[in-house]
Amino acid sequence: MHQSHSMAETSQIKLLGSVASPFVNRVQFVLNLKSINYEYVEEDFDNKSELLLASNPLLKRVPVLIQPNKPPLCESRIIIDYLEEIFPDAYKLLPSDPADRAVIQFWAYYIDTEFFPLYGRLRKTPDKEGKEALKKQIIEQTRVLEKTFVKFSNGKPYFGGDDVGYLDVILGCFLGWTKFVGNFNNFKILEEIRTPKLVEWSNRILSHEHFKGVIPEQEKLMDFYKWLTRARPPPRVTT
């Protein structure tokens, strides 16, 4: 029998997540866009669930997508690509042409590996000079992203054109942290003069009906930031 994915089956989908995780938020955004029902399970990173440890034993990270009779799926972009493949008609995120699709995926990879990690480096850099250098790099990256937006949106509201597409999801889910990191470090990451189109776009994304409620409040990000920068016991020496 042909395997179909009816909405009844999808209600058995579970997403292991953490509210402040942009990687989890992007999967939630896609599940919302595709009208897929799912159960959200919040993980406590100080006390990870057996389900998380069993389903992502190597990395022990969220998001993880759990479905009956299927292996658990890890890594946000892999999960999104999977959802796009099995529910292609529910809400199309990627173009059909394989080369066009690969170009979009390059940019998603770029945003994840070149842009967003700068926020973490800024957090971990203690000295003022180092921090200033990173702020400059972040600002340079926003110029690149502004140009990328202009190219892909081609005068339309989203990276995806008239509707939210893959890059809107990928970059959109970093907007909460973008605001937080800017406020925390006293600089504007997106601003009218330097990135006018991205400023308009970010307002559009943040008020999108399927996005509201996905991006956590700034206080939640502050809680998570405190957790990230908490005093940790020194590593145990075992020899």
Which residues of the chain form contacts with ligand GSH (CB under 6 A)?
18, 21, 23, 45, 60-63, 75-77
Q: Which of 141, 136, 139 is nearest to 115 (CA)?
A: 141
Measured distance CA(105)–CA(67) in Å, rounded: 25
In Å, what is the CA distance from 55 to each residue of 19, 71, 77, 79, 84?
19, 8, 17, 14, 21
Residue whose CB is less far from ligand GSH, 29 or 153: 29
Q: Which residue has its beta carbon closest to ligand GSH?
A: 61
- Least Å distance between CB 15 and ligand GSH? 12
Measured distance CA(206)–CA(216) in Å, rounded: 11
Residue whose CB is less far from ligand GSH, 14 or 60: 60
- Least Å distance between CB 82 and ligand GSH? 12
Residue whose CB is less far from ligand GSH, 63 or 172: 63
Residue whose CB is less far from ligand GSH, 32 or 76: 76
Residue whose CB is less far from ligand GSH, 173 or 195: 173
Residue whose CB is less far from ligand GSH, 159 or 177: 177
- Least Å distance between CB 60 and ligand GSH? 6
- Least Å distance between CB 162 and ligand GSH? 27
- Least Å distance between CB 97 and ligand GSH? 25
- Least Å distance between CB 17 and ligand GSH? 9
Tokens representing 141 are 């990256």
